[in-house]
Structure 1
Amino acid sequence: MREELKQFREAMKKRGVTVYYQPYSDAHGSEDISARDQSVREISGFTGDSCTLVVLEKEAYIWTDSRFFVQAEIELKDSGVGLMKAGVPGTPSITAYLEEKFPEGGTLAFYAPLLGTKTGKELKELVEKKKGKLITDLDLVDDIWKDRPERSHEPIWVHELKYTGEEAKSKIDRVQEAMKKLDSTVFLTGRLDEISWVTNLHGSDIACNPVFLSYLMVKPRSAKLFCQENALTEEAKKYLADQGIKTGSYDDFLAEVGKLKDERVLTDLRDLNYAVYNAVADKNTIVDALSPISLMKIVKNETELQGFRDCHVRDGVHLTKFLYWLKKTIKEGKADNYTEYDLGEKLNSFRAADPKYIELSFPTIPAYQANAAMAHYMPSKEQSSVVKPEGLFLVDSGAHYLDGTTDVTRTIALGDITPEQSRDYTLAVIGMLNLMFAVFPYYATAPNLDTYARQTMWRYGRDFGHGTGHGVGFVNNVHELPVSVRPWVHPDYRREVAFEPGMVTSDEPGVYIDGAYGIRIENMLICVKDTEHEGFNCFENLTWAPLDPDALDLSVMSKDDIRRFNKYQKRVRKTIAPLLPEEEREWLIHETRKIRREKKH
């Protein structure tokens, strides 16, 4: 059993806690979290995200989804923590599990800022039903994590108008208009991506996310930003003053909302943490609605869209230079000298040289053969497979630039591959291109579009366990809700938004064979009006990087598949070949050559 788990149970015993509920989360419901909030990792050793740890006196389990099953089984081995495969038939929900395991009169504890309001309410009801005790202010990992990092407070900087296309004051005005329509007198949000977008301010309190720890309160004639005073630069102070936005201390936010009385508070309860809810709910009326900021920022303005286009051309050049270097290195027989980690660092160096580079949009995922079967595999310098001149290599990567955000995945053949690998690679390419070239009515939502990417795969008995696409923020979180492409209907109808012009999504079908190989092909797309059919939309491609023609199984491809493939490759060649040095340009011209299926005689 992991020593940290033993110590955690001892701390529970001292505090009289029967069950401790520890989500992978921070006070802002962030998908990625800072080093200080990595409590699940500290206790269990599991390094994946999107999970929840529940610890009892003699049992402990982590609930996570299919993206992390393989990783969890490896990392949790001999830890004393079991894996609950969320979404798999037969796996109980956390609530169902606790209904059975939580004893009458027991004590359940959690740290309220880390829980969403819905979860907090459910746990409170469960404890009341069992006539137990609930502790909501106990950050118990503090008792055992002796070298816990301090809360991050990186400098906050201003994103210039020439990149954002709209001043913060104008955005706040739009929020206040939305408040009127919803008959509310106060708007609260703790979503860091929303706050960064509406204020045109950025930070780096969470790796690969250009956001800063903060809360925002908007009233009909005022707006107040609560952030860490030691992170607020003079430039940011002046900008906020010019935009009419007041400031307060991050640590004072709970006390300030606790003073609200007889207000109609507009907030999204799925995003609001349970501590804030408890501070405001009793003395005010809650107007639970999708945040107006979330609906504003997913439709990009013309300045943002042009920035996306510009940065993707440069990003395509960086990635193409890397792919050329990689294939050349393999041909020269030097591949055995490189690990996955080395290759990731090499690609990162190409992007970092861009004059508008800010940081990576997520940690680069370089995955060779069987490791790529784990959708979110992450090698380290110490643990990383050697890449050989054979099989498939997947690299999922992207960056934040001053003028936009990128996210692209390519899978390439490093040498001989099996017929099965070739077929599955081709199915992923077909799926990506099918969605890219889709035409759809104005009311189409995520499930309507998802089948474009899967229908050919299904004919061959292949599928993948993650969504096909996610919204992408503008110099913001690379995963941006509520935009997505997925096969299931969202349980919250408010988040089932129809695609409309200006929305940006990824397009990333894949095939994953446990213990053997993984394939994913990803481009980014802008939703635009279809000029040929009234009331219909289509996609404009953003990503310019070649697809590997050597890995294709042409027998799987229809004439339309081949036509789409050649059309995309030609566009890549036309867009970025002029921007490449001669050697790389010649390679790209060959790589994007027209493919044809041989005629049978």
Structure 2
Amino acid sequence: MSSKSSLLKPLRHLLQSHSLAAYLVPSNDPHLSEYVSTYHERRGWVSGFLGSAGVALIWQWDRIGMRGAASDEEQKSLPGAFLWTDSRYTLQAQQELDLSHWQPMIYPHPQPNYPEWLERYGPMVRQWIHEEHAETPQSKPKIGIDPQLITLKEYRQLSEKLSSAGFELVLLAQNLVDQLWTENRPPMPHEPIITLPQNFSGRSVGDKLKAVRHTMRQKGCQYMITGMLDEIAWLLNVRGSDISYNPVFLSYCVISLDEGVTLYVADNDGKRLSQNGVHEHLEKEQVRVRPYDKFLDDLSTELKVEDTKGNNNTVSPTRIWISPESTNMATYTAITKSLPSAEKSQHERYIHEEDSYIEKLKAIKNDTEIQGFRDCNIRDGSALCKFFAWLEHQLVVEKNTTITEVSAAQKLLEFRRQQPLFVSESFAPIVGYGSNGAIVHYHAREGKCAALGTNSMLLLDSGGQYKDGTTDTTRTMHFGTPTQEEVENFTRVLKGHIAMDDFVFPDGALGGLQLDIVAPPFFWG
């Protein structure tokens, strides 16, 4: 923890040199991935918190205060580094953060998420900054962020909230954490890429592109741009492993209505695409490959954005389709540089903003994909049954007391690897024995994990990536005689699951929190 806290001082020097009051460090990578490669784990590196979700906000000062707060509680001095994460990680944040330097902000309770918190309490912090650090009352303190790590939609919303709180959101050309993380940083991932045959995908690349271009034509768009890794892998029938447990590779994709497809992907040694028939596959589908790091430059210089005069003297602009929810600000800024007019008011003339059509296509599973899901769950279920039979024999018959949470996970992986079409685990397995099972997203570590036995419950949450689908299975088991309390709690949870399964979802009820009322009554009685 101390080593992570020591990073705050040089980071604050960088904040000073950029005239920033604070700096935001999100969890995601430039592709807005929930799970990222080790190279992109900036928030974890600077804070020490290793949960998959969270945003760090580091102020220029090691402690901050509030002025004009509604209560004494809000006026107290706080550590100058905040870490927002959701309630799944309440215990983990407390354990991994140095609480003398970091303030855990758990949402939705007891704290709102960071945009709402800054909107609500930002004016009080701003007043403290002006009073304590001789800022002029008219100035707006600046909060910086890497434009590759915030979407267009997020940028607009956060800018508005910060402005109402008296702050200004600024985009920095270079990531400040990158300037410090110069030693022992994992390299950019460059893992093998493979093709996914049509007997697994159920649909050819040409057929998918035909559907995309049909909709582009209807919307009057000449280009569609995406940096979402799952969309690119699905569209081009290729898979990778740049991010652990995820069959994707770092890339961007530009689809032209008339000039083919351009895939931006790193291939530094020239072998990545030449192996596994990937180059031939892409060439057959008329996909041009460009270096990953040329993407932003190409957007600024190579898009042919112009006003075209038709036969009846009507003028039609070149239009570019992007999704505000999945396009980062660096991409958006590069696109605007290619436009004939630099006037912001003219951007909407050339940029078509709408949810990704590729995402919608991907969500409609074909018969081959559906059958693949069924088949891979059967094979994965076989691996689980073999594992549970082995574990029961070891614990009950052999009285083996040396099996730990970590070694059990390794044994389960052995059984999965025996199954046809297995590629990898679909996430880090959660094996929690006894009280460890109560820790949401618990991760057992060698030397710091529990030994399994027959005196408590075992939670196993795991899954596999197969060429024909992905699995995710959770089971709670007991290999001895459970206590009456365990039986009652297990039964209450089971009743809650049954109630959710029987529930008819009303229109618009998409979020888990909206449906949370269905299961908890069985826990309250």
Letter in 2 for 1:2: S
Pick the aligned partner of 1:418 from 445, 466, 483.
Answer: 483
How many positions carry a matched residue from both structures? 460
| Contact kept in structure 2, 1:2 and 1:80, CA below 8 Å | no
Letter in 2 for 1:226: Y
Give SS of 2:423's match.
strand
* Alpha-carbon distance in structure 2 between the residues aligned to 1:326 and 1:133: 54
5+ residue gaps in structure 1?
Answer: 463-601
- Match of residue 69 from structure 1: 90
- Match of residue 10 from structure 1: 10
- Match of residue 252 from structure 1: 294
Change (3 A) 1:93 1:317: same
* Alpha-carbon distance in structure 2 between the residues aligned to 1:272 and 1:19: 24
- Of residues 453-462 and 362-371 in structure 1, the stretch that sits farther from structure 2 once superposed is 453-462
* Alpha-carbon distance in structure 2 between the residues aligned to 1:67 and 1:132: 31
Change (3 A) 1:415 1:177: same
Q: CA deviation at 1:416?
A: 3.2
1:229 aligns to 2:267 (yes or no): yes
Q: CA deviation at 1:324?
A: 1.2
1:51 aligns to 2:54 (yes or no): yes
Give SS of 1:197's match.
helix
| Contact kept in structure 1, 2:265 and 2:291, CA below 8 Å | yes
| Contact kept in structure 2, 1:427 and 1:456, CA below 8 Å | no
| Contact kept in structure 2, 1:204 and 1:210, CA below 8 Å | yes
**1:427-472 CA deviation, whole Å, 9 max, x = no partner?**
333444455567779x685369985x9635414428xxxxxxxxxx
Give SS of 1:46's match.
coil
| Contact kept in structure 1, 2:493 and 2:523, CA below 8 Å | no
Letter in 1 for 2:147: A
- Of residues 135-144 and 359-368 in structure 1, the stretch that sits farther from structure 2 once superposed is 135-144
Instruction: Give runs of aligned pairs for residues 298-317 of structure 1, distance below 5 A.
Output: 298-317=363-382
- Of residues 424-433 and 207-216 in structure 1, the stretch that sits farther from structure 2 once superposed is 424-433
- Match of residue 202 from structure 1: 239
Instruction: Give runs of aligned pairs for residues 119-198 of structure 1, distance below 5 A.
Output: 119-124=154-159, 130=166, 134-145=170-181, 146-198=183-235
- Match of residue 383 from structure 2: 318
Q: CA deviation at 1:143?
A: 3.1
* Alpha-carbon distance in structure 2 between the residues aligned to 1:164 and 1:148: 36
| Contact kept in structure 2, 1:190 and 1:215, CA below 8 Å | yes
* Alpha-carbon distance in structure 1 between the residues aligned to 2:8 and 2:413: 38
- Match of residue 429 from structure 2: 364
Q: CA deviation at 1:182?
A: 2.7
1:279 aligns to 2:334 (yes or no): yes
Change (3 A) 1:18 1:331: same
Give SS of 1:321's match.
helix
5+ residue gaps in structure 2?
Answer: 63-79, 130-138, 307-317, 340-346
| Contact kept in structure 1, 2:51 and 2:89, CA below 8 Å | yes
The TM-score, its normalising length taken from structure 1, stands at 0.71
| Contact kept in structure 2, 1:359 and 1:400, CA below 8 Å | yes
Give SS of 2:148's match.
helix
Give SS of 1:337's match.
coil
Give SS of 1:420's match.
helix
* Alpha-carbon distance in structure 1 between the residues aligned to 2:514 and 2:418: 36
Change (3 A) 1:449 1:440: farther
| Contact kept in structure 1, 2:143 and 2:167, CA below 8 Å | no
Pick the aligned partner of 2:359 from 294, 298, 321.
Answer: 294
Change (3 A) 1:450 1:388: farther
Give SS of 1:240's match.
helix
- Match of residue 31 from structure 1: 34
Q: CA deviation at 1:408?
A: 0.5
Letter in 1 for 2:266: Q
- Of residues 355-364 and 222-231 in structure 1, the stretch that sits farther from structure 2 once superposed is 222-231
Instruction: Give runs of aligned pairs for residues 163-562 of structure 1, distance below 5 A.
Output: 163-221=200-258, 222-230=260-268, 231-234=272-275, 235-259=277-301, 260=303, 261-262=305-306, 263-281=318-336, 283=339, 284-285=347-348, 286-332=351-397, 334-435=399-500, 446=510, 455=518, 457-461=520-524
Q: CA deviation at 1:125?
A: 5.1
* Alpha-carbon distance in structure 2 between the residues aligned to 1:48 and 1:215: 26
RMSD: 2.6
**1:323-372 CA deviation, whole Å, 9 max, x = no partner?**
11112222136353122111111111110122311111111111112222
Letter in 1 for 2:8: F
Give SS of 1:255's match.
helix
- Of residues 409-418 and 343-352 in structure 1, the stretch that sits farther from structure 2 once superposed is 409-418
The TM-score, its normalising length taken from structure 2, stands at 0.81
1:84 aligns to 2:120 (yes or no): no
Letter in 2 for 1:233: S
Q: CA deviation at 1:78?
A: 4.0
Letter in 1 for 2:97: L
Q: CA deviation at 1:233?
A: 3.0
- Match of residue 148 from structure 2: 113
* Alpha-carbon distance in structure 1 between the residues aligned to 2:274 and 2:519: 53
Q: CA deviation at 1:376?
A: 1.0
* Alpha-carbon distance in structure 2 between the residues aligned to 1:373 and 1:440: 28
Give SS of 2:401's match.
helix
**1:124-176 CA deviation, whole Å, 9 max, x = no partner?**
55676757683422312223321111110112110111111111111111111
- Match of residue 73 from structure 2: none
**1:456-493 CA deviation, whole Å, 9 max, x = no partner?**
5414428xxxxxxxxxxxxxxxxxxxxxxxxxxxxxxx
| Contact kept in structure 2, 1:107 and 1:133, CA below 8 Å | yes
Change (3 A) 1:135 1:457: closer
- Match of residue 525 from structure 1: none
Q: CA deviation at 1:73?
A: 1.3
Q: CA deviation at 1:81?
A: 1.2
1:40 aligns to 2:43 (yes or no): yes
Letter in 2 for 1:399: G
* Alpha-carbon distance in structure 1 between the residues aligned to 2:450 and 2:281: 47
* Alpha-carbon distance in structure 2 between the residues aligned to 1:380 and 1:249: 38
**1:69-117 CA deviation, whole Å, 9 max, x = no partner?**
1211121244621110121155463432445435445443222111222
Q: Percent identity?
A: 30
